[in-house]
């Protein structure tokens, strides 16, 4: 495995998660918008989507209620922007992945590293948990998340799997039908962390790499 290739892929992917605005005024506006989104995530996580009020978000963000409406039309739009800001860049990084001469596993490992560090290791994992808990009661929000994150990520992962099969890096075609198997440990980790982490914390990176070993075969030190 080429560490240089993997580092380059991971660096490019990570840059998509935080692109700073240019200019002092733009930076201030971007910081205020992010503060509102982080406050919204905290409120949604604590109260649930239905019980959260714009007033609560404004109070937590330290802004006037009217300021929120300068950035977001309503609570639905606030949730949608939360997903776009915190998770869609990760999907875009996966869509932009190009194997080149590197093994497909290298690219998927870089995506796993990015997920563990930038999603599971931060408050972004609460967006996933929020969709799991609130999605059944708010189908429009679940559909939005599916279109913006799940559908796109599944298609991008399937494209990588097709490339791996064509190169002989994979032996079984079952992953073409069920590409969700690649990221299933990440979803399990989000659920586990909310229920059982205080009893038995998971090594999330190790869990996801074990799944890659099962899928691709264990790596050798050649």
Distance CA 129, CA 45 (A): 8
Of 175, 173, 161, 154, which is closest to residue 104 (Cα–Cα)?
161
In which band, very low, low, confident or very high, does the pLDDT at 25 lie, cut at 50, 70 and 90? confident
Q: What is the pLDDT of residues 118-158, one digit of tens each?
A: 999 999 999 999 999 999 999 999 999 999 999 999 999 99
5 pLDDT higher than 60: no
pLDDT at 199: 97
To the nearest whole number, what is the mean pLDDT of the chain?
88
Structure token pair of residue 115? 């997920």
Domain borders along the chain are 3-17+75-216
Q: How confident is the model at residue 101 (pLDDT cuts 50, 70, 90)?
A: confident
Q: How far is CA 117 from the centre of its chain?
A: 10
SS (H, E, C) 8-75: HHHHHHHHCCCCCCCCHHHHHHHHHHHHHHHHHHHHHHHHCCCCCCHHHHHHHHCCCHHHHHHHCCCH
Tell me the chain's radius of gyration from C-alpha atoms. Answer: 19
Domain 3-17+75-216 has CATH 1.10.3470: no
Q: How does residue 171 score in pLDDT terms, banded at 50, 70 and 90?
A: confident
| Statement: residue 13 has pLDDT above 60 | no
pLDDT at 175 over 70: yes
Q: What pTM was estimated for this model as a whole?
A: 0.84
Q: Directed axis angle between helix 151-167 and helix 104-114, to 10°?
A: 150
């Amino acid at each position: 495995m080429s560490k240089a290739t993997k580092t380059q892929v991971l660096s490019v992917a990570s840059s998509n998660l935080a692109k700073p605005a240019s200019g002092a005024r733009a930076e201030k506006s971007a910081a205020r918008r992010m503060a509102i989104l982080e406050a919204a995530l905290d409120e949604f996580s604590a109260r649930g989507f239905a019980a959260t009020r714009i007033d609560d978000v404004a109070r937590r963000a330290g802004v006037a209620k009217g300021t929120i409406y300068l950035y977001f039309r309503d609570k639905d739009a606030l949730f949608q922007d939360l997903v776009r800001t915190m998770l869609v860049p990760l999907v875009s990084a996966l869509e932009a992945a190009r194997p080149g001469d590197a093994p497909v596993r290298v690219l998927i490992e870089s995506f796993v590293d990015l997920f563990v560090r930038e999603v599971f290791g931060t408050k972004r994992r609460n967006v996933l948990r929020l969709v799991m808990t609130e999605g059944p009661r708010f189908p429009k929000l679940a559909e939005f998340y599916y279109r913006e994150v799940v559908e796109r990520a599944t298609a991008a992962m399937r494209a990588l799997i097709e490339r791996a099969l064509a190169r002989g890096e994979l032996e079984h075609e079952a992953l073409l039908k069920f590409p969700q198997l690649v990221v299933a440990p990440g979803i399990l980790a989000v659920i586990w962390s909310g229920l059982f982490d205080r009893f038995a914390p998971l090594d999330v990176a190790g869990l996801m790499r074990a799944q890659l070993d099962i899928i691709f075969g264990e790596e050798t030190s050649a």
